[in-house]
Structure 1
């Protein structure tokens, strides 16, 4: 057990706003408490929730000065006295089951609760491992825990080019379902097909409802929507009788409206999902981690990296994410 405080760099922010509020700050990183781990970070995964949190539109408001970030990968530098499952030198990645009031991952030397640190499969690079858990745990929760996806069922995925969208496509294929990717940009079509999508719909050029009904015949059994807004009604119209529509994001700031009669007559289930309902149940997390590790080891689940930035260019990385041009995960690398 290391008892020394060490110097490090951490991205912090003192007010909500645009990417420019993020500041790389020199900090002192204390020795890990009994149930903590100190990690030498090699790569950091960026998520949409990071942008929302920085902008002040996430459900949890930041307390300033605020840390940021829920994903990273690196090497265990030291452990607290009660930590049994990890040792210095272990290559690990982070499961984001904590509050940014207490912890953050945007740094080169970070403290984290030991329960949120996991050895990752050797097959992954640090960059891939930094983009593993948020996306694939969300995919597992949506498809397995909540959606109950069965082999042969259709799944429509809105905002499919995100890291979570790609993780969902791969997970649907692993389960034996049929993934239909929905994206706004035609230039992303090939990448989505290469990622495993059976069909791709370009929402800016095609009628979502007509295309989904043409592909499925009787509608989609499971619709996963991270957008909302005006597209929501179109997705409901293409959902099969007794189908499910699960909302896991709100990229559109528009209000959604839909036909109540259609929901009633089709006996649809519409519900929201966030990661807490998976992360707060230990047995669910254990099952999800085992499923993901098996998929990574077998090669059926592999994080896709869109672009990497050095830690010092964190504001540029956030701006890139706000352009919505990426296909896959945006990563910060540590020199």
Structure 2
């Protein structure tokens, strides 16, 4: 038997329940993990509230990101995986392959090893964030030396990954945060500049920081009306990547600013990486190498124990964190 987390109705974190279930045998192309740690993300909070791209099929498990040890493999899977320490990449449906619990069965193609210098907790806090930022900024945005990059919601795990990617590329990372409470910490975590959007004129500060050029790349998970402001600080031929809808408000297209500067506005999700094997292989190599040599270091905001799963998601939704919220399972 093993304990898993599942929910039978939509709502806040309180709908999450612990349930004892028999050990699940992996099917064709699948593996079973003994889970050691789980990283939480906003997609899961939207999922159990019924606000995610994918609707839950109740009752539903939850979770994309775990690290653990392979215990069993199904038909067609290389048995050499057994006993290896691995992490999961978010390349599957939560309603089919939720991972939060003492055991998780996932498709083998969603597994990756991780560098020996990482703990299981760090490994569970790495792949969603770095691959998400990699796809927009590196694969599509071609970030490089001399670029100015605007990063709204910069204190999130993906925002911090973006800061590290921008710095590694020799570009300038401009973190955007609503209040000054996190400003010093963002500077300490690598941001070259911080714009406090609730206290400063974003476009004016962006022009000041960039010498009038504006930001060539904008990496935004919030969407909603603020995209008009982000567009006003964009450079000629800039690209605005929108990878989330945290504002839960309609998102206007900044038409007039696009006329002026040739700004492109583009929706983006990490599925553009995880659903294409060649892109995923390249992304994994890019992230693995930088985790191994220390250029990338996952920032864990707060660690919870497994029995405090509900409290962990409540903390995630509080917006107090800087970095990843992680649950230590075993």
The answer, yes or no, to whether TM exceeds 0.5 is yes
Matches within 5 A, 1:1-335: 7-84=1-78, 86-216=80-210, 217-257=212-252, 259-335=254-330
Query: Aligned with 1:121: secondary structure?
Result: coil
Query: Aligned with 2:134: secondary structure?
Result: helix
Asked if the contact 2:227/2:254 (under 8 Å) is kept, the reply is no
Deviation digits for residues 53-89 of structure 1 (CA, Å, limit 9, x no counterpart): 0110112110011011100001111222422274322
How many residues matched? 329
Q: Which residue of 2 is the match for residue 4 of structure 1? A: none
Deviation at 1:201, TM superposition (A): 1.0
Asked if the contact 2:38/2:327 (under 8 Å) is kept, the reply is yes
Q: Scaled by the length of structure 2, what TM-score is found? A: 0.97
Query: Aligned with 2:291: secondary structure?
Result: helix
Deviation digits for residues 193-249 of structure 1 (CA, Å, limit 9, x no counterpart): 121110011111111111111101211111111112232111100001111111011
- In structure 2, C-alpha distance between the alignment counterparts of 1:224 and 1:270, rounded to whole Å: 10
Asked if the contact 1:45/1:332 (under 8 Å) is kept, the reply is yes
| More deviation, 76-85/319-328 | 76-85
Query: Aligned with 1:320: secondary structure?
Result: helix
Query: Aligned with 1:73: secondary structure?
Result: strand
Alignment RMSD (CA, Å): 1.3
Q: Scaled by the length of structure 1, what TM-score is found? A: 0.95
Asked if the contact 1:236/1:258 (under 8 Å) is kept, the reply is no
- In structure 1, C-alpha distance between the alignment counterparts of 2:134 and 2:254, rounded to whole Å: 30
- In structure 1, C-alpha distance between the alignment counterparts of 2:236 and 2:203, rounded to whole Å: 14
Deviation digits for residues 14-42 of structure 1 (CA, Å, limit 9, x no counterpart): 11111110001111122222421111111
The runs of 5 or more residues in structure 2 that have no matched partner are none
Deviation at 1:118, TM superposition (A): 1.1
Deviation at 1:190, TM superposition (A): 1.8
Asked if the contact 1:29/1:111 (under 8 Å) is kept, the reply is no
- In structure 2, C-alpha distance between the alignment counterparts of 1:173 and 1:124, rounded to whole Å: 21
| More deviation, 270-279/259-268 | 259-268
